[in-house]
């Protein structure tokens, strides 16, 4: 099963930027979905942005125009560039990998946006 290691979380003031990165290792298949989800206490985990191996992306309405997801298939990495951050973006962010054979979650990284 793939292992996912996230990095790049932290604290920032509203309007600032952060970049999250996720490196996948182990049983990685070229045809896959990778994405970022987030969760706040008491709420369900929600999809923030996703990208398939062909480069097609999708975003939650709340982050469109502010966040950009990208992936490097050769390095098995996915990144999330987050600009114009808002306090409501505060959450634990999780990397996600899905292929026809395996699926995995990262351990999560905290993003805190202060007003």
- In tens digits, the chain (115 residues) has pLDDT values of 899 999 999 999 999 999 999 999 988 777 889 999 999 999 999 999 999 999 999 999 999 999 999 999 999 999 999 999 999 999 999 999 999 989 999 999 999 999 9
User: Which pLDDT does position 26 carry in this prediction?
Assistant: 87
Residue 60 CA to residue 88 CA, distance in Å, equals 13
Tokens 């996720």 belong to residue:
22
Cα 14 to Cα 38, 69, 72, 113: the distances in Å are 18, 20, 29, 6
- Residues forming a β-bridge with 109: 93
User: Which pLDDT does position 27 carry in this prediction?
Assistant: 80
């Amino acid at each position: 099963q793939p292992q996912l290691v996230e990095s790049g979380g932290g604290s920032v003031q509203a309007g600032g930027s952060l970049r999250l990165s996720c490196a996948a290792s182990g049983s990685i298949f070229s045809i896959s979905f990778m994405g970022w989800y987030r969760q706040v206490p008491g709420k369900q985990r929600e999809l923030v942005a996703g990208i398939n191996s062909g480069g097609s992306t999708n975003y939650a309405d709340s982050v469109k125009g502010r966040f950009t997801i990208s992936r490097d298939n050769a390095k098995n990495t996915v990144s999330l560039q987050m600009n114009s951050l808002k306090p409501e973006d505060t959450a634990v962010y999780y990397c996600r990998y899905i292929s026809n054979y395996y699926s995995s979650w990262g351990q999560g990284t905290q993003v805190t946006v202060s007003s």
